[in-house]
Amino acid sequence: MKGISTIVVMVLILMISVSLTSLGYMAFTTFFSKVTTSSEQAISQTLTNMLAQMKIESMAYTNPTTSVYIRNIGKVDLTAFSAYVNDIIVPAANLQLPAGNTIPPGSVGTLTITGNLAPSGRTVKVTTAQGSVAIQVVP
């Protein structure tokens, strides 16, 4: 009887060890999978932000509108534009976005601010969803 109980104890210890090892493997695999996914997303967003660049080519003020000519000098499309005049956001009703709300790389788009919100001497700041910013004073 003593010999059989020793074998049973060894088999039980072996089964417990295998199950604990499997449980640990599954936990670590899930954890590292989530970390890898979130890291990939963060790197992708950072690369997009680094590749998105723009500059204001020129601006023209003709009462009551200000035309802002934006050149995409980056490597990705610029989208979702916002404009600020003296750090106050321009309401959507007073903002005409570039055609298709997108400026492809190397192209120039026009952002029009209506309603005499940006007369000469005021600072205009344009931002995009990709995180690029351009600032210039209205001539």
11, 47: one domain: yes
CB 71 within 8 A of CB 48: no
Which tens digits make up the pLDDT trace of 57-85? 999 888 888 999 999 999 999 999 999 99
50 Cα distance to chain centroid: 10
Amino acid 46: pLDDT: 82
Nearest of 109, 105, 48, 41 to residue 81 by alpha carbon? 109
Q: How many structural domains is the chain composed of?
A: 2
- Work out the pLDDT band at 4, boundaries 50, 70, 90: confident
Q: CA 78, CA 32: separation in Å to the nearest integer? A: 33
Amino acid 120: pLDDT: 80
35, 81: one domain: no
The per-residue DSSP string of 16-69 comes to HHHHHHHHHHHHHHHHHHHHHHHHHHHHHHHHHHHH--EEEEEEEEETTEEEEE
State the SS3 of 58-69.
Answer: EEEEECCEEEEE
Cβ count near 127 (within 10 Å): 18
Q: CA 99, CA 48: separation in Å to the nearest integer? A: 21
- pLDDT of 6 over the 60 cut: yes
- Domain, as residue range, for 2: 1-51
Cβ count near 48 (within 10 Å): 16
CATH number at 91 reads: 2.60.40
Report pTM: 0.69
56, 43: one domain: no
